[in-house]
Structure 1
Amino acid sequence: MPDWSYHGIFRPLLTKLSPMISREFIHRGMNTIASLPFGFGAHIINFLGREESSHFLKLEKHGLEFKNRVGLSGKIDPLQTGTRAFTNLGFGFLEIGPITLNPTEQFTKPIVNDESQVIHFPKNAESIGLEKTFKKLHKLKKKQPIFARLVGTENELLKMIQQLDNFVDGYIIETNRTEILHNTQKPVFYAGEVINFPKQACSGIVLEKKQDSSLVEEIINLRKTGFHGTIITSGGVSEPEHALKLLDAGADFIMVSDGYVFSGPGLTKRINEALVDRLNIDPPPQPGWFSYWLFGLFIMIGGILAFIFSITSVILPYDEYFLEMKRETIWVFNERIMQFMAHDRMTLAGTMISGGIVYMQLARHGVRRGMRWAKQAIDAAAITGFLGIFAFIGYGYFDWLHLVLWLVLLPVYIYGFQKTKGIRGTPSSKNRKNDRVFKKGIFGQLSFVLLGFSFVLGGIVISIIGVTSIFVSTDLAYLCMPPEMMEAFNENLLPVIAHDRAGFGSALLSVGLLVLMMSLWGVQQGQKWVWWTYLIGGLPAFYAGIYIHFAIGYTTFIHLLPAYIALGLFVIGLILTYQFFRKQD
């Protein structure tokens, strides 16, 4: 669940419910998605949130490989209802528990203080018990190290370790009795009072945020005593800056807890992007990016040519050849048919120009810098666009100009695709705080995500209409003529119009995917080029799509309402994200 959906949609609703109900609603819902067969759920989560970690953040410690240094505290999910989902949310490791030998009969409701942004978790360990934990771990497909927090007597700890040892990668215990360490080869971390810390016996220590305590000072003091073991912190992180300070002070790993609830599930991603940003990586230009840029340029040129034709001749000689009729004859029969065709062709032209600009920007600023998300956005949209050519012939008419463009674009795209196969870079971000600029940016991102979804949905609907009924009721009202009369006039006229409709729908779907994926994956603070891509890329499509309707007098409100809504989302997104994309600290 990315921040744009958490803060923009779900959290305002869930705060009306009790903390336990809202927590379980979120965790069970996410777990259900993550449990979809064939890895489909993991792909959905990755598509919406893009939680991959940079390979620069990987590290090995205690014989384990961590994708990054950020983990999740078990306090967030004591019932372990969301563990499967959390494995897909970009964490470097997970803590589960606390685990006790026997289950707790009744769980204490956490007390959430929204004003101070603190969650008061139960002081005594509350657990689903060893048996249920074992069953959950047995079904779990691990994607990162899992540490089990164990609570109990020495004998109970020994029994739990014996049963869990094949399923977890380490333990967190709250006792300084070190005899149990001889019963496992896994790392064991102490989570009690520092004064009682058995330094020589444990692999490291877990420092937990307490009220009015400073984790940074605790870390510094512990390092000053000469301790070189692993330090893990739990809590005290509600924005990336907090995490950076803890790591700078000497912490090896951090676990987010209540800050994860208030800041949102995107906190992990924001911390990792901030860590990448501090590395100040300047990769060499990625081979193949220029081919993708040319791909966008050719689409933009094609759109410009289509725009010129739409405001001059409207139909081309090969259209007349197929129709076996001159354009003048159609003008005389019903001038609104020609105007309607100009309307379809100009909206297609605007969409192509916008799409070409977005392709070029993604290639220049994304793929060139090795951003994997930018390549995948281009690939998904381009392949969809190529497949859309089959929608053009749904009624038996094939546009040869489209074929020429298709043949020009295909080798250019294939070359770029092959050359960028190994791309794996991840984004960086200047974001450090949950300030007003960040919060506005979240809602701006939501606007752009909704805009992308609306384009995708609109493209699908228009494509389906193009290859089925061709017209909607407002079209026929504008034309003042039923399809049967047009078919009687010229039996090839409907296939040409259907071709235009399906072509526009396919182009809108392709560009919609670009906008959607850029909105889901490419919104990071300080990336000014993304804001300019939205602005410059959006203007041609909106101008052509709205202008032509007024130029030909097709101004039915219900017909233009989707365009008005899309324009509103576009403007809102630009306004709310302006400072976010420009802010460098």
Structure 2
Amino acid sequence: MYKHFLRPIFFLFDPEKIHHFTFSLIKSTSKIPGVSFLFRSLYSVEDKRLERTVFGLTFKNPVGLAAGFDKNAVLYNELANFGFGFIEIGTVTPKGQVGNPKKRLFRLKDDQGIINRMGFNNEGLEAVIEQLKGNKKKLIIGGNIGKNTATKPEDYTNDYLECFNALHPYVDYFVLNVSCPNVGSHAKLNDKDYLEELIGTVQKANNTFENQKPILLKIAPDLNDGQLDEIVELVNDTNLDGVIASNTSTDRSHLKASEDILESIGNGGLSGQPIKNKSTRVIKYLSDKSGKSFPIIGVGGIHSAKDAIEKIDAGADLVQVYTGFIYEGPGLIKQINKALLKR
């Protein structure tokens, strides 16, 4: 029903506006008695064989929703009814910020992709915590954290630390988002020495809590082999809990969209089918190079069960969807889980 009826209607409207409309629609319909049960019966696959224990957490299935969809943690309880094994909220910054000027979200329909330059728009730490206090504990929640755009380079670590300490009681794992191309200057965030400092500082804070939370690093799909070697060294040297591969791409090659269309869109991070092979390559390289010494969450271009299985075969322990969820609808999660059961 989604692909043949709802999606054609949704795609007639501005992507960001329809995103907010869809949130309101899911939120309101889920309050109707029996609707949440209906969603679960349509989309959830409950089977112990789907469980995965990764970085000390047991996921009821390996299919998650990537960060960026439920930035402010307003819909995770309702989204849980669509069969996800985990949901990652954020990116959260200490202070709320409006992000980049609109228009900043664009569909590439022929490519089944999206270009965004949202710029970490979110309501800020305090607002997100208020939402997370209503967690019905339906599934594992990840907290994707970043820095405010206006923060000076010497204060980057303080932003991550503030988010980490405040969110610690409310999420099950953390993701240090250092690879988003839409937040202005982030050269320092790609420096290996700085990443060691950042990870070490956050790990030190983690050790002050009675229950430590896993910490992961989200990396770009555009890294070359030498840079990926540095990531492997970094993870092993710091005992980081895992890596998410990958974020959006700045590469515009081999797209069906015309040069005129791409020029009119401007800069931004590309997600969806166009980056599928690129992210899978990163996953396989990290897995092979490290001897599978750390967990990997695979994300990027998953629009079918086959796409998800390719990521897992390449070395991913868990997978996440985002653009595929928008193009394929909630039935995608069920398709992936059913395909995994057949294996």
- Give TM-score scaled by structure 2 length: 0.74
Match status 1:183 vs 2:193: no
Correspondent of 1:7 among 3, 28, 40: 3
Confirm or deny: 8 A CA contact 1:28 1:81 kept in the other structure.
no
CA distance in structure 2 between the aligned counterparts of 1:154 and 1:98, rounded to whole angstroms: 15
What corresponds to 1:42 in structure 2? 36
Instruction: State the Cα deviation string for residues 538-569 of structure 1 (Å, max 9, x = none).
Output: xxxxxxxxxxxxxxxxxxxxxxxxxxxxxxxx
Q: Which residue of 2 is the match for residue 150 of structure 1?
A: 145
Instruction: State the secondary structure of the residue aligned to 1:115.
Output: helix
Match of 2:49 among 47, 51, 56: 56
Code of the residue aligned with 1:171 in structure 2: it is F
Q: Moved runs in structure 1, 4+ residues, more than 6 A?
A: none
Aligned partner (choices 89, 92, 100) of residue 93 of structure 2: 100
1:166 corresponding residue in structure 2? 169
In structure 2, do the counterparts of structure 1 residues 79 and 137 end up closer, same or farther at CA, with 3 Å as the change threshold? closer
- Superposition pairs of residues 13-32 of structure 1, within 5 angstroms: 13-32=9-28
What are the superposed Cα offsets for residues 163-217 of structure 1, whole Å, 9 maximum, x if unpaired?
Answer: 1111100100025222211212100001135455321321011111534552222
Distance 1:251 1:106, change over 3 A: closer
Match of 2:314 among 230, 234, 249: 249
**Partner secondary structure for residue 203 of structure 2:** helix
Runs of 5+ consecutive residues of structure 1 not aligned to the other structure? 279-585
**Kept in 1: contact 2:173–2:215 (CA 8 A):** yes
SS of corresponding position for 1:87: helix
Contact 1:68 1:91 in 2 (8 A): yes
Secondary structure of the equivalent of 1:142?
coil
| Displacement after TM superposition at 1:68 (Å) | 1.0
Amino acid corresponding to residue 229 of structure 1 in structure 2: F
CA distance in 1, matches of 2:117, 2:99: 12
Whether the 8 Å CA contact 1:53–1:272 is kept in 2: the answer is no
- Say if 1:101 and 1:160, in contact at 8 Å, map to a contact too: yes
Aligned residues of 2:72 and 2:128 also touching (Cα < 8 A): no
* Counterpart AA for 1:172: V
CA offsets 1:80-131 (integer angstroms, 9 cap, x no match)? 4432211211111111111011111256431111111111122632222111
Match of 1:124 in 2: 119
Over 3 Å counting, the alpha-carbon distance change for 1:231 and 1:106 in structure 2 is: closer
When residues 170 and 243 of structure 1 are mapped into structure 2, their CA distance, relative to the original with a 3 A threshold, is: same
**Distance in 2 between residues matched to 1:217 and 1:105, nearest whole Å:** 34
Does residue 66 of the first structure (1) align with residue 64 of the second (2)?
no
Matches within 5 A, 1:71-90: 71-90=64-83
Shift of 1:147: 0.8
User: Does the 8 A contact of 2:105 with 2:118 survive in 1?
Assistant: no
Structure-1 separation of matches of 2:89 and 2:6: 25
The 2-side partners of 1:135 and 1:190 are apart by 25
Structure possessing the higher radius of gyration over alpha carbons = 1
| Cα-Cα RMSD | 2.0
2:287 to 223, 232, 235: 223
Distance 2:46 2:278 in 1: 28
TM-score normalised per structure 1: 0.44
1:276-313 residue CA offsets vs partner (Å, 9 max, x unmatched):
112xxxxxxxxxxxxxxxxxxxxxxxxxxxxxxxxxxx
Residue of structure 2 equivalent to 1:199? 235
Please say if 1:236 is aligned against 2:281.
no
Report the Cα distance in structure 2 between the residues aligned to 1:225 and 1:265, rounded to whole angstroms.
34
Query: Letter of the aligned partner of 1:189 in structure 2?
Result: L
Matched, 1:262 2:256: no
CA distance in 2, matches of 1:220, 1:8: 34
Shift of 1:224: 2.2
SS class of match (2:119):
coil
Aligned positions, number:
271
In structure 2, C-alpha distance between the alignment counterparts of 1:32 and 1:59, rounded to whole Å: 32
Letter in 2 for 1:32: S
Aligned partner letter, 1:62: F
Give the share of equivalent positions with the same residue, in percent: 25
Give the conservation status (yes or no) of the 8 Å contact 1:31–1:83: no
Question: How far apart are 1:35 and its partner, in Å?
Answer: 4.1
Q: For residues 251-293 of structure 1, what are the alpha-carbon distances to aligned partners after superposition, in whole Å with 9 as ceiling and x for unaligned?
A: 1111111111111211111000111112xxxxxxxxxxxxxxx
Measured after TM superposition, the shift of residue 151 of structure 1 is: 0.3
Maintained 8 Å contact 2:99/2:122: no
Which residue of 1 is the match for residue 339 of structure 2?
Answer: 274
Task: Tell me how far apart the structure 2 counterparts of residues 189 and 246 of structure 1 sit (CA, whole Å).
Answer: 18
CA deviation map 1:410-454 (0-9, x unaligned): xxxxxxxxxxxxxxxxxxxxxxxxxxxxxxxxxxxxxxxxxxxxx
Q: Which amino acid aligns with 2:241?
A: S
- Rounded Cα–Cα distance in structure 2 between residues aligned with 1:237 and 1:113: 15
Indicate the structure whose relative CO is greater, using CA pairs within 8 Å and at least 6 residues apart. Answer: 2
Q: Is the 8 A contact 1:70 1:256 kept in 2?
A: yes
